[in-house]
Structure 1
Amino acid sequence: MDTAAPHAVEANGITLACRVWGPADAPPVVLLHCRGADGADWTQIAERLAAPPRPRRVYAPDLRGHGHSDWSGDYSARTMSEDVRALLAALGLGGADVVGHSLGGLVAYVLAQRHPGAVRRLVLEDVCAPVPLDPPRPPAERPDGELPFDWAMVRATDEERNAPDPVWWEHMDRITMPTLVIAGGPTSLIPQDQVARLAELIPGARLVTLDAGHLVHEARPEEFLAVLEAFLAE
């Protein structure tokens, strides 16, 4: 299979683009990117995860409103989580290890709350606890020119960041699978007390800090992979 280009998968009433690496019979792992990126953001990590001696079957979709996936209206974290659940079903996967960065991490933990059977192990990279921003994030100003994502998605996700669904907090106890929270340390743009709070809210979650800033897997890929692979192998 050519993994350089995304493959179209029909899921949850839309078309999702998904890149794939690794042997078809290897244990599956799904990588969910941050806002404004797409599945290609994970290429370096995916290639390593798919390689011997313990290869994984790696799936890196473009979330709706990003890259080659449909840019279609509803950009709530709940809807995006249902996209991922439908993607797993379309791929014939009963479940998978799920790794999410930033927005992808929010989508991942909402998926874990709503469909715990779909997630074997959960990894959240520099993700905030679901607390309202104070002061709220002001409306973002759209850059000029074409964008690789839907600007409506930015507005919608900012609204949810300012006023998270209270259910996200209330249902943290539904995340019962082994969970690893990776924090980016003091140079991250994400308040690290919020990342630590998220780890406290999830029963039995483990918190590891890598002083890399918000883009942990990009800035410190070797350290990120060491922590990730050890956790997934448990």
Structure 2
Amino acid sequence: MATDDAPVRLAHHTVQGPPGSTAPPLVLLHGGGGDGTTWDPFVAPLARRATVVVPDLRGAGRSPAVGAGSVTALRDDVLLLLDDLALDRVVLVGHSLGGLVGLLVAQERPGLVAALVLEECPPPEPLGLPVPTGFADDASFYERRIRPAVLATLNSPDPARADALAGVTAPTLVIGGGPDSHLPQDAMVRMAARLPDARFVTLPGGHLVHPTHPETFLREVEAFLDLAQGGW
């Protein structure tokens, strides 16, 4: 069994891109409480441009429900997956918790990330989100271990997280869900401003942009990737 700080190997599936494509693979990181199936409607369209890798994060889907629920543990799981797949250049697309994990990967290994899409990614400012306590006997691993640990981190973020934004070299698209989101959009704008090469866009949908407005989300992401591809 993994210790709390040991990375675990994530269940994932891969859809090959066009033959001979040199575009970096797209790695799609789901949000908290879900799994990789949230990206099912997007895999085929995105695989027309590049190979697509869809993992289940720790404690979600088919991945192990063991060890720590810290954001650094989740980051290290993704880094282990990319190393196992021998991927030295990727595009990360993350929603909510997945966006935070993708951002941490880009901060830890800037040269690994060719481009970054952050959909409703929690900004590195104190968020004041309620942290659950006292769990039912049948509560999931996510509810018991990951969600409380992540919320505590978001409510009292390490100042180094904000400082590390300046080290992200990848072109970045930050997507906010507008006034219906529970995350502060002004803080998300500030996060985008601190990234060296980022653009902020508001799309409808509150916190769940890609599930509720898939066509708009896909169109925005593909337009961003078309622009970013010129620098690969």
TM-score (norm 2): 0.87
- CA offsets per residue over residues 155-184 of structure 1, 9 Å max, x none? 211211221122211111001211110111
Which amino acid counterpart does residue 16 of structure 2 have in structure 1?
Answer: G
| Aligned residue in 2 for 1:47 | 44
Residues 185 and 140 (structure 1), Cα distance of their counterparts in 2 relative to 1, 3 Å cut:
farther
Distance 2:111 2:82 in 1: 11
| Aligned residue in 1 for 2:64 | 70
| Aligned residue in 2 for 1:29 | 26
Q: Whose strand proportion is higher, 1 or 2?
A: 1
Residues 162 and 205 (structure 1), Cα distance of their counterparts in 2 relative to 1, 3 Å cut:
same
Distance 1:104 1:176 in 2: 19
Which amino acid counterpart does residue 38 of structure 2 have in structure 1?
Answer: D
Structure 1: tracts of 5 or more residues without a match? 1-11
Residues 67, 148 of structure 1: 8 Å contact kept:
no
**1:101 partnered with 2:95:** yes
- CA offsets per residue over residues 23-71 of structure 1, 9 Å max, x none? 37543000111001111111111122113xxx32111111112121111
Structure 2: tracts of 5 or more residues without a match? 1-5, 228-232
Residues 9, 80 of structure 2: 8 Å contact kept:
no
1:144 deviates by 6.3
1:140 deviates by 4.6
The residue matched to 1:19 in structure 2 has which SS? strand
Q: Percent identity?
A: 42
The residue matched to 2:127 in structure 1 has which SS? coil
| Aligned residue in 2 for 1:181 | 174
Distance 2:100 2:43 in 1: 20
| Aligned residue in 2 for 1:162 | 155
The residue matched to 2:14 in structure 1 has which SS? strand
Distance 2:173 2:63 in 1: 28
1:149 deviates by 3.6
Q: How many residues align?
A: 219
RMSD: 1.9
What does 1:210-221 correspond to in 2, within 5 Å? 210-221=203-214
Distance 2:131 2:8 in 1: 30
TM-score (norm 1): 0.86
- CA offsets per residue over residues 118-152 of structure 1, 9 Å max, x none? 10001100112111234x52435535646374521
Residues 185, 209 of structure 1: 8 Å contact kept:
yes
State which of 121, 125, 132 in structure 1 corresponds to 2:119. Answer: 125
